[in-house]
Every structure is written in structure tokens, then in C-alpha cells.
Amino acid sequence: MTTSSGSSQKKVTVGLFVTCLIDAMRPSAGMAALRLLETAGCEVVVPKDQSCCGQPAWNSGDINSARKAATPFLDAFDTCDYVVVPSGSCAGMLAHHLVDLFDGSGDTHAQKQASSIAAKTHELTSFLVDVMGMKTPPGKTGARIAYHDSCSSLREMQVSAQPRALLKAAGADVVDLDKADTCCGFGGTFSVKYGDISGTMSDDKAADIEGKDPDMLVAGDMGCLMNIAGRLSRRGSSVEVRHVAEVLDGVMEAPPIAGPRNTASGRPEE
Amino acid sequence: METTSERFRESVAAAIRDDELKGAMSKLTSALRPKRASAVAGLPEFDQLRDHGIAIKMHTLDHMDTYLARFEDNVIANGGHVHWCADEASARQTILDLCRQHNVRTVTKGKSMVTEELGLNAFLDSHGILPLETDLGEYIIQLRGEHPSHIIAPATHLQREQIADTFRKSHAHLDANRAMDTAESLTEEARQELREKYGAADAGITGANFMIAETGSTIIVTNEGNGDLTQTLAKVHIVVASLEKIIPTMDDAGVFLRLLARSATGQDMSVYTTLSSGPRRAGDLDGPDAFHVVLVDNGRSAMLGGSEREMLRCIRCSACLNHCPVYASIGGHAYGWVYSGPMGKVLTPSLTGLDKAKDLPNASSFCGKCQEVCPMRIPLPKLMRNLRVKQTEMKMTSWRQRILLFLWSSLASRPALYRFVTGAMTKILAGLAGRKGVFRWLPLTGGWTKMRDLPAPEGGGFFARYDASRKENN
Amino acid sequence: MAASDRTLIFDRLRKAGEGRIKAPHPGRATPPKMGSLSGKKKIDRFVEQASQQYATVDTLSSLDDLPRYLTKWLRRQNLPQEVVIAPILEHLDWQDTKSVTTRTGAATTADMVGVSMAYGAAAETGTVMMISGEQTPTTLNFVPDVEIIVLSKKDISAGMEGCWDQLRAYKDKTGQMPRAVNYITGPSRTADVEATMVLGAHGPRRLHLLLIDEASPWRKNR
């Protein structure tokens, strides 16, 4: 277990925003994120008054609902040094759209808070590498891992080299997909509203993945992971799907996403 | 042109089952995506040129009246004529009047999306004037009675066999056993068919990629040379162009020309870039006797004052179409109008009305690839979201969506209640899923589960685990 | 009708601009490096780019040599020994060829080979600039199957900026732009069938460029 330079300086406080999808679907990934941040030397707080960043309503064009949903967030994450999010898309919402969301709300206090949150929000793996200087994660794996960049990670948060560097340092054989920068088709409510288009896109992604014959498909966004795992599962694929936090943390007690429940640990072979 | 955007869902369902379309889209994207990437990588100053081009456009949009007036003065000084048309009906009538004025019976056409917007071909045909498309892709779809499915490659939805089939039926006078199995043989056949038609046409109608205020010139950019044959060999040259094609100077054109072909097909420069500045001069040995520019508003000035203003920067390169995973899955016809792909998702509702194109701004995952490749950095996802906001305000969204979002936000704004409800619900669902770990189906999720399993939640929510681990550590 | 449409449109445009802070024009763009070459590098760039775009490029020892060059070239290419030529080339000694017959003027679909002269060129993209007019009819650029264009090296600009300047000078001198300015980069092509590139769509199937060192006849009159 490595800690960053243990000096007498005050520890960085990180507010962990687990995101609604991790909260609902895969709390174990949230716990993995928590452990990673502590390992990196952060003091982590997990404000109880967190739920949603407002993105589903924001993207649907329902500004009022989005503001309502995101309002508790403003107070909850007021005091930490950083807001760290195990999701490129929620991080993108906070870093790039929260200010717009409260613009025109007439609430200058909320606007100030939104501004401050936007400035201190980071996606998890880029935070570990770029801010905390993590070089080697606690997890170890020899697996062949196909890494999927979520569109928000790639285009809004400039995250792509960092998770790969950490996975490689963990011992993984990281492979890139042929159409690495093509959307998997999740897109939030798009995945249900336009299910046939979304499903087709997820199928293209699944075929790309299977073509690389990896042990695992790993990504930093729960929405993409559910979408890709859902299609791989329907195709009868044996590729394991996990959140990048789980692999870097190394514990991996939970079965893979969409994987059957009774398998022991689900940890890949060393 | 009539819109069928209201039938988006049915069109999509059909498109997704269409294997020929799938094959055609795959050929398009696998050809054009790497070509653009390579062309852009080959020009180190690409991003600076983009910035410069955007600045030119934003300045021009702020001074449209000045530049359009200057353009008009110069066209007239060159011996040409300018006609102003506030809407599509006025534009159609103006063009018809010009044809009648010049005794035009046959027309050759260069590719022009704005004339598709106007439904010009059908209109002229109904008045006894025969328009003949000369761009190879447009020629093919005209024979098939189809509309273009892509703004620069109109027949891109077709595979070679389908095109050969069309030629077999339409060129019945040719030898039935002729070679038709290559792109070369089909191109050659179209060349021969059209060769004499240019000179025989009374009028040539082209669009304009740009209009230059400084010189009163219209610019067309082609690879085939058909636009030039169209305008040079006919007696009358009619240019149809929408207002936002105006740019201040020739040097400004140079900036856009460096961006256009690279973004479209990955060429550094298209084969033919032509400036047309009026009718033939005294002493000229060829060229049209008359030059008319038909300027079409048809909704542009309304966009200028509205929230879709940035869309007017579009230079119609098609990079967004070529890189969009939604477009690649469904092809251009599903969008139901002239403009498809990401730019169509903004432009079509803006011009035809949001009520006629309800699905278009919504059928996007907001992946952002379009904005990334757009030479004018048009924030297409943001513009689509703006349209979604308008739909919400105008109560155009489904009652189901409104209720679900209301419930969701009411819950999310009360974190303690949120934790309780989601904790309980996920526990139940986890229990229901049992060993399998997935659901093949759940109520309200048909759109998802048709092609994908739905992973089961771990159950209980994050805070249950977090609180438990805290207790353990203490 | 049209007059009131004009008023309506200008009204709309004016209203759309009300209250806006107007953005300034950014000025002339700096040409990219590949469009700023000079000397031999510039000429080499032109030849390299034109060739990459499927034009063939050769040099003439002098413009006077054109008729004799053509006799040999047409024979080697198995092309008919009949060409339609631009008036600017009429003064050359075509009688000397003994075998090539020429017609001067605009091209018709019966013409297989056309010969004309470029007004300018952009080395950046291997592009020639043709202008319409008494000396160089436009149809020569598009109608014949084979297009031969003579270009003086002295008329090659680094990029299109030089070409725009030439056009401005032309406009100042003659009072008007040429009716048509054609920038041509290689023979015609299309990729409308399955995104497969095919050379020779509706315009010429072949573009042959002939470079001369001396100034063009135009230059002498500029």
C-alpha cells in the first residue's frame, strides 16, 4: 500500500460524489473509489446530502427539474478542496454545465457555489494521476483489458492516458479498440428513448470489443458499462465488465457487471 | 421539399433492418473518417485557421445587411441580377419567372441543397420545365425518385448493385450486356449520358458554397466539373443561394476553402473551385448570356436573431454526418428532410418547425464527436439541447417524460428520502434478479431490453455499505 | 413582390442585429507554411502537389516549343492529332508541326484535346488558376477529354493569396472581374459510387501541365 509523500502538511480533502448510477447499481465501485483516494493520501468525505448532478433532466431540456435535483449538491460539496467523481459524464456535468444550469436562476449564491464546484471537480483517474501523482495503483492484474473511453471523459474531461497508465502499472495488458472514440450508444435517456439506435450502437461496440478478445472490458463510466455489459451479455460473451476503480483498487469482490451472482470473487487470473 | 421527419421512428426501425444501407454506411465512414484525420494532421495550422474562419463568420453574421448589399451592387456592376426571396414560395416563383422570361424548357442542375429545400425540381416539372441533375449522386437519385441522403454525397445510401440496377432500367437504350460491375463503368456511363445535355440546356442552375461581397462572385466547389459545365454551356446561369453563404472578401474565401475539402473528403483542395461573376463579357467566346442570383431567406434571418444563430456558421462540409454514430446507424433518409446528421438535427427543426421534427434534437447521445470535427466548432450538442429546452417549455415532450423527470427530481432534491427509496428499490430488484445478475426485461425498459440485458443492481445503495464499513473500522 | 421581399429581408436582418455588440473582422489570415514557400521550393511544391492529384507535369524549353512538343506527345499518348487551342496560343508556329491541326476558340463535345494557358497558380495545393476571356475560353477547361494547360513558373504563387491579388489587379486594370475564375487541381473525379474514387467524371479525364520558365504572354501586357 503506497501513500503519497507523508509530510506534515495538511491532507487534501476530497468530497467523493459516487453518482446516482454507482449508488443504485454498483456501490462496490464507489467503495473502491473511496479506498483509492485514501490510498493516494486524501482525506475523503462522502457528504450524505448527495443524490444526482442533474444531468438527466439537463440533457432532456427540463431546466427546472435539473436545478431542483442539483440544488442539495451545492451545499453538500461547499467546503471540500476537490470534488472527485468516478464518472466522466457526471464530472463533465459539474465541471462544464453546472454553471450554465444555475445561470438565469436568479440565485446569485447558488451561481457562486456552482462556479466554485465547477472549478474543483475532477474525474477519478485523472485526479489520482494528475493531482495526487499516483504512479502505481494498489490493484494487481495480468489481465488483457480493453479500455473504453466514455465520450464525456474523452471530450469534456480530457481523460484517456491516465486510466491506461494506471492499468498498465497494475500489470494489465491494455488494448485499444478499433473504433475507440466512437460512442457506445448509452447517452443517458437516449438508451431507452431511442433503444433501437442505441442498441445498434452498443452492438457495434460489443463486436469491436469481442474482436480484440480481451479478458475484461473496463471503463470509468457506469452508464457505458451497463450498456456495453448488457449487450455483451445478450450476445453470450464471456468478457468481464468492470469499473476502472474496481480494477485499480484490486479488491474486486463483486461479480462483474451483468455477470452471474454465484461465481467466487470474479477476480481474473494473475 | 416535404418533410417526413414526423415518421422518424418508423423510418429508423426500417433503416436498422436494412443490410444494404448498413453496408453503404460502413463504406462511407471507413473511407471518409481516416481521410479527414489524415488531411487535418497534414496541416499544422488547421486549428488556427478554424479560429480565423469562425471569427470571419461571426463578424459577417453581425453585418449581413452590409455585405449582402455590397454583394448585390457588385453583381449588378458585373452585369448580373439579384433577386430577393423571403420564403420558399417566393423563391420557387422567382425561379419559374426567370425560366419563363428566358424561354427555358430544359434545365441542367449542379448539386444544390437549397434547391432541394425548395422542392424546385418537382415544382419546375409541374410547370413543364424539365430539370436534369448532373452531379453523379444527384443524377442517380433523380432516376430513382429519391431525395439526397447526404449533403455532399447524395447517393451514399446505395450500393453499387443498386446503382447498376437503376441505370439498367433508365438507360434502356444501351447494350444490355455492357459492363456495369465497377464504379468506373457506372461513372463512365453517366458521363456519356450527360455529355450532350449540358449544351442542349436552356438554363443551368447551381448553388453556391460561398458568395463574395467584395467582387459580387458566387463560388462552387466540385470534383466532377458538372457544375462548371452546367453554368458555362447553358444560355442562362441561375445561382440559388441562402443568405448565410455571404462572406466579405476573396481572402476570406481562401480560409474556408482550406477548411472545407479537408473536413469533407480529406482532400487539401477540391478539383474545381470556380468564382462566377456575371454573364459573358464582350469578347468572351463562351459563357452564359445572363447571370441571376436568387437569394433565399426561408428562415435564416429568424435564426440570426435566435438561439440557433451559431448554426449559421455551417459551411456544409458534412464532417458531422461522416463522424456521427447515429447517422452511421440509420442513414440520411430517416431524418426526413434535406439536412440530416447532426447539422440536420438543428437545421431541420429550425427551418421546418420544431413541431414537424420533434424527434430530431432528441435522437442523439450527445457524444460530441460532431462538434469535435466541425471546422466551425459549432456546439451542436448544446444547440440540440437548446431545442430540447424549447420543447419542454412548449410542452412538446411526452407526459411520461415530464412525470418521470418530476418524480426523479423531487426525489433527488430530498437526499434522505432518495437514499431510503433507492436503497429499498435496488434491494428488491437485486432479489428479483437472483443468481442471473441480469434482467431480460423490466417494465418501462422495453427500449433497452429489446437488444440488451439489464444488469441487476447490487442492492441497498452506497450509503448502506459505507456506513457499515465505517462501523467496522471503528 | 421581389422588391418588398428585399425590404422585408433587410428589416429582419437589421432587427436581428439590434443591441448586439458587433464582432470585428479578424483581418487577413496568415497563410500556412505550406502556402508560404518561395524560390525552387515553391516550384517543387507545385509539381509535387499537382502530381499527387493525378495531373501529369512536364516542362517546355520555351513556349515556342509547344507545337512540336504536342506533336510528339499526342502521338505517344495515342491521341488524335487535332487540338482546340486558346487564342492566347494562336500566335505560335503551328504550321511547323506539319501534323497537328488546330482550331482556335471555345471547345465543343467533339474536341478530344484542348490546350490553354493558366493565369496563375497556387503551389500550396498544385492548383492552376484559369480565367475566362477573349484569350482563354472557359470551355477549354471542362469539355475536352484531355486538357493541357501551359503555366509560366513566374505565375506560380505560394498560395491562393497571390492569386487573389492577381485578380484584384486584373479588376483594377480592366474594370471588372473575369466572368469566371476556375481553380483546377488535377483531372475531374467522383466518389459517389460506394465512396470509391474514379478519375474522369464529367470534366476532363486527364490534366497535363506544361511549365515554362519565361513570362507568359499575359505578363507582357500586364
The CATH number for C160's domain is 3.40.50.10420
The answer as to whether B333 is a domain residue is: no
| Torsion sign across C-alpha atoms A198, A200, A202, A205 | negative
Confidence of residue A50 (pLDDT cuts 50, 70, 90): very high
Q: How far apart are CA B111 and CA B67, in angstroms?
A: 25
Query: What are C149's strand-pairing partners?
Result: C116, C209
Q: What is the pLDDT of residue B435?
A: 85
Q: How far apart are CA B462 and CA C135, in angstroms?
A: 81
Mutate to test the interface with B, among C11, C18, C177, C185 (most CBs of B within 10 A): C177
Helices A222-234 and A195-211 pack at an angle, to 10 degrees, of 80
The answer as to whether A258 is a domain residue is: no
> In this complex, is the C-beta atom of C188 within 8 Å of any C-beta atom belonging to chain B?
yes
> In this complex, is the C-beta atom of C19 within 8 Å of any C-beta atom belonging to chain B?
no
Residues in B closer than 8 angstroms to C2, CB to CB, are 83-85, 90, 94
Residues in A closer than 8 angstroms to B451, CB to CB, are 195-196, 199-200, 202-203, 231, 234
Tens digits of per-residue pLDDT, B201-238?
Answer: 999 999 999 999 999 999 999 999 999 999 999 999 99
The answer as to whether B280 is a domain residue is: yes
B229 contacts C125? CB cut-off 8 A: no
**In CATH, what number is assigned to the domain containing residue A230?**
3.40.50.1860
Instruction: Indicate the residue type of C8.
Output: L
For residues B300-322, give the mean pLDDT: 97
Of the residues B272, B301, B330, which one is the last residue of a structural domain? B301
Q: How far apart are CA B253 and CA B187, in angstroms?
A: 30
C10 pLDDT more than 60: yes
Cβ B217 vs Cβ B246: under 8 Å: no
Q: What is the pLDDT of residue C2?
A: 55
Of the residues B274, B301, B328, which one is the last residue of a structural domain? B301
Cβ B25 vs Cβ B157: under 8 Å: yes
Q: What is the pLDDT of residue B378?
A: 98
Which residue in chain B has the smallest CA separation from A227? B452
Residues in C closer than 8 angstroms to B305, CB to CB, are 12, 15-16
- C-alpha R_g of chain C: 21
Largest alpha-carbon pair distance within chain A? 56
Which residue in chain B has the smallest CA separation from C204? B225
- DSSP string of C63-106? GGGHHHHHHHHHHHTT--SEEEE-GGGTTS--GGGSS-EEEES-
Confidence of residue A9 (pLDDT cuts 50, 70, 90): low
Which of A34, A60, A200 is the closest to B405 by Cβ?
A60
* CB-based contacts of A239, cutoff 8 Å, min separation 6: A146, A209, A210, A214, A215, A216, A217, A232
A22 contacts B365? CB cut-off 8 A: no
The answer as to whether A269 is a domain residue is: no
For residues A47-64, give the mean pLDDT: 95
Q: Are residues B153 and B294 in the same domain?
A: yes
Tens digits of per-residue pLDDT, B356-414?
Answer: 999 999 999 999 999 999 999 999 999 999 999 999 999 999 998 999 999 999 999 99
Q: How far apart are CA A42 and CA C124, in angstroms?
A: 54
> In this complex, is the C-beta atom of C78 within 8 Å of any C-beta atom belonging to chain B?
no
Q: How far apart are CA B177 and CA B7, in angstroms?
A: 40
Residues in B closer than 8 angstroms to C180, CB to CB, are 228, 231-232, 274-277, 287
Q: What is the 3-state secondary structure (H, E, C) of C181-214?
A: EEEECCCCEECCCCCCCEECCCCCCEEEEEEECC
Q: How far apart are CA C98 and CA A148, in angstroms?
A: 71
Q: How far apart are CA B217 and CA A52, in angstroms?
A: 54
What average pLDDT does chain B have? 96
Of the residues A73, A104, A129, which one is the last residue of a structural domain? A129
Q: What is the pLDDT of residue A263?
A: 46
- Among B78-92, B282-296, B460-474, the range scoring the smallest mean pLDDT is B460-474
Strands annotated E in B3-105: 81-85
The answer as to whether A266 is a domain residue is: no
Q: What is the pLDDT of residue A262?
A: 61
The answer as to whether B134 is a domain residue is: yes
Domain count along chain B: 2
Q: How far apart are CA A167 and CA C145, in angstroms?
A: 59
* CB-based contacts of A147, cutoff 8 Å, min separation 6: A163, A164, A167, A174, A175, A176, A218, A219, A244
Q: Are residues B293 and B417 in the same domain?
A: no
How far is residue C150 from each of residues B394, C115, C116, C213, measured CA to CA in Å? 63, 8, 6, 11
H helix count then E strand count, chain C: 6, 12
Of the residues A129, A161, A195, which one is the last residue of a structural domain? A129
Range of the structural domain that residue A78 is part of: 13-129
Q: What is the pLDDT of residue C99?
A: 76
The answer as to whether B398 is a domain residue is: no
Q: Are residues A122 and A162 in the same domain?
A: no
Instruction: List the 397-416 stretch of B: residues with Cβ below 8 A of C.
Output: none
Which of A20, A62, A71 is the closest to B413 by Cβ?
A71
Residues in B closer than 8 angstroms to C127, CB to CB, are 269, 273
B454 contacts A27? CB cut-off 8 A: no
Residues in C closer than 8 angstroms to B328, CB to CB, are none
Cβ A89 vs Cβ A55: under 8 Å: yes
Closest to B270 (Cα-Cα) out of C120, C187, C167: C187
Range of the structural domain that residue C56 is part of: 35-217
Residues in B closer than 8 angstroms to C15, CB to CB, are 305
Q: What is the pLDDT of residue B165?
A: 95
Q: What is the pLDDT of residue B472?
A: 85
Tens digits of per-residue pLDDT, C76-127?
Answer: 999 999 999 999 999 999 987 677 899 999 999 999 999 999 999 999 999 9
The answer as to whether A142 is a domain residue is: yes
- Please work out, in degrees rounded to the nearest 5, the angle formed at the alpha carbon of residue A33 by the alpha carbons of A32 and A34: 90
Here the cell at position C204 is 476532363
B406 contacts A194? CB cut-off 8 A: no
Q: What is the pLDDT of residue C95?
A: 86
Q: Are residues B151 and B285 in the same domain?
A: yes
Q: What is the pLDDT of residue A267?
A: 33
Range of the structural domain that residue B421 is part of: 413-473
Closest to A206 (Cα-Cα) out of A185, A175, A192: A185
If one counts every other C-beta atom within 10 angstroms of the C-beta of residue A107, the result is: 14
Q: Are residues A24 and A73 in the same domain?
A: yes
The answer as to whether A146 is a domain residue is: yes
The answer as to whether B315 is a domain residue is: no
Query: What are C190's strand-pairing partners?
Result: C198
Q: How far apart are CA A83 and CA B444, in angstroms?
A: 33
Q: How far apart are CA B433 and CA A253, in angstroms?
A: 19
Which of B435, B445, B453 is the closest to A261 by Cβ?
B435
Closest to B344 (Cα-Cα) out of B395, B301, B378, B375: B378
Shortest alpha-carbon distance between residue B220 and chain A (Å): 32
Of the residues B259, B282, B301, which one is the last residue of a structural domain? B301
B155 contacts C192? CB cut-off 8 A: yes
DSSP conformational letter for A159: -
How many Å from the N-terminal Cα to the C-terminal Cα in chain B? Answer: 71
Domain count along chain C: 1
Share of chain B above pLDDT 70, in %: 100
Cβ C222 vs Cβ C162: under 8 Å: no
The answer as to whether A267 is a domain residue is: no
Shortest alpha-carbon distance between residue B350 and chain C (Å): 16
Of the residues A129, A162, A179, which one is the last residue of a structural domain? A129
For residues B308-323, give the mean pLDDT: 98
Tens digits of per-residue pLDDT, B255-264?
Answer: 999 999 999 9
Confidence of residue B150 (pLDDT cuts 50, 70, 90): very high
How many Å from the N-terminal Cα to the C-terminal Cα in chain C? Answer: 45
Instruction: List the 49-108 stretch of B: residues with Cβ below 8 A of C.
Output: 49, 52, 55-56, 58-59, 62-65, 68-69, 77-78, 83-86, 90, 94
Shortest alpha-carbon distance between residue B446 and chain A (Å): 7
Q: What is the pLDDT of residue A265?
A: 39
The answer as to whether C191 is a domain residue is: yes
Q: How far apart are CA B200 and CA B209, in angstroms?
A: 26
Q: Are residues B11 and B141 in the same domain?
A: yes
The answer as to whether B215 is a domain residue is: yes
The answer as to whether C23 is a domain residue is: no
Closest to B369 (Cα-Cα) out of B424, B323, B417: B323
B366 SS3 class: coil
Confidence of residue A1 (pLDDT cuts 50, 70, 90): very low
Long-range contacts: B299-302, Cβ < 8 Å, 24+?
A: B299/B350, B299/B351, B300/B242, B300/B243, B300/B244, B301/B64, B301/B243, B301/C9, B301/C12, B301/C13, B301/C16, B302/B350, B302/C12
Domain count along chain A: 2
Q: Are residues B418 and B291 in the same domain?
A: no
> In this complex, is the C-beta atom of B273 within 8 Å of any C-beta atom belonging to chain C?
yes
> In this complex, is the C-beta atom of A259 within 8 Å of any C-beta atom belonging to chain B?
yes
Q: Are residues A173 and A217 in the same domain?
A: yes
Question: How does strand C146-152 pair with strand C206-212?
Answer: parallel
The answer as to whether A245 is a domain residue is: yes
Residues in B closer than 8 angstroms to C137, CB to CB, are 284-286
The answer as to whether B19 is a domain residue is: yes
Q: What is the pLDDT of residue C97?
A: 66
A198 contacts B469? CB cut-off 8 A: no
A50 contacts B415? CB cut-off 8 A: yes
Here the cell at position B149 is 441522403
Q: How far apart are CA B432 and CA B455, in angstroms?
A: 12
Q: Which residue is it, cell 478519375?
A: C199
Residues in B closer than 8 angstroms to A58, CB to CB, are 385
B349 pLDDT more than 60: yes
C1 pLDDT more than 70: no
**In CATH, what number is assigned to the domain containing residue B232?**
3.40.50.10420
Confidence of residue B199 (pLDDT cuts 50, 70, 90): confident
B447 contacts A192? CB cut-off 8 A: yes
Share of chain B above pLDDT 90, in %: 94
If one counts every other C-beta atom within 10 angstroms of the C-beta of residue A2, the result is: 11
Q: Is the pTM of this model over 0.90?
A: yes
